[in-house]
Amino acid sequence: MGTGIAKIEQMTDGEIIARVVRGETRLFSDLVRRYQDEVFGMALRFVGSAADAEDVAQEVFLRVHRGLSGFKGEAQFSTWLFRVTYNLCADWLRKHKKPRRKVAGLDEAGEIADGRVDLERGLLEAEERDIVRRAVEGLDDTYRGVVVLHYYQKMPYDKIAEILSVPVKTVETRLYRARKILRTALEESSGQGGQS
């Protein structure tokens, strides 16, 4: 029994997908286990609450399971999975139009998604992290998406470009503009903090 688990852990995503498509549907749970933390963490950063992120993550895996037979392997499975996640998060944000000033979602995401948050750590002191989180949540969805994917999910530009179906140059431009917007927001926040 233990050797079967070890074999599955050594299998590539493509090998598992091929077996699931051939009828070994129980193996899909192994793909879910591999990616559930990343999908949930990404959803949490977008939607802001654990309950909503859980709903989005479940929908992601349902959609992926339904579409698995159509997956041609032209991109990595993870790229396709994160594209589905990103699109469902964007749909959720459009449908719910909630204010983005809630800090809890990004606080939770930082704790859950195994310490991948470098943006704050590299640029700011600990007491300024809340300001950064609020500023990221206040970004337009287009910019928020690339910030979440690059700084929080630790994805390189080319993978972000694949997920968003845009050129790498567009990713670079969006990140540049997002950093500029964040810098302005942080300067305004520190100016207000100094006045009180």
Domain range summary for the chain, segments of one domain joined by +? 2-195
pTM of this structure: 0.74
CATH 1.10.1740.10 assigned to 2-195: yes
Whether residue 46 contacts residue 93, with contact meaning beta carbons closer than 8 Å, is answered with yes
Span 82-124, pLDDT tens digits: 999 999 998 998 888 755 443 333 444 444 344 444 554 544 4
DSSP 51: H
**CA dist., res. 38 & res. 35, Å (int):** 5
Nearest 5°: the CA angle 96, 98, 103 is 135
For the chain, the maximum distance between any two Cα atoms, rounded to a whole number of angstroms, is 65
Span 165-194, pLDDT tens digits: 999 999 999 999 999 988 888 787 776 654
pLDDT band at 45 (very low <50, low <70, confident <90, very high): confident
Residue with the two structure tokens 């990103």 = 86
CB atoms within 10 A of CB 11: 16
Whether residue 81 contacts residue 35, with contact meaning beta carbons closer than 8 Å, is answered with yes
Nearest to 77 by CA among 123, 30, 119: 30
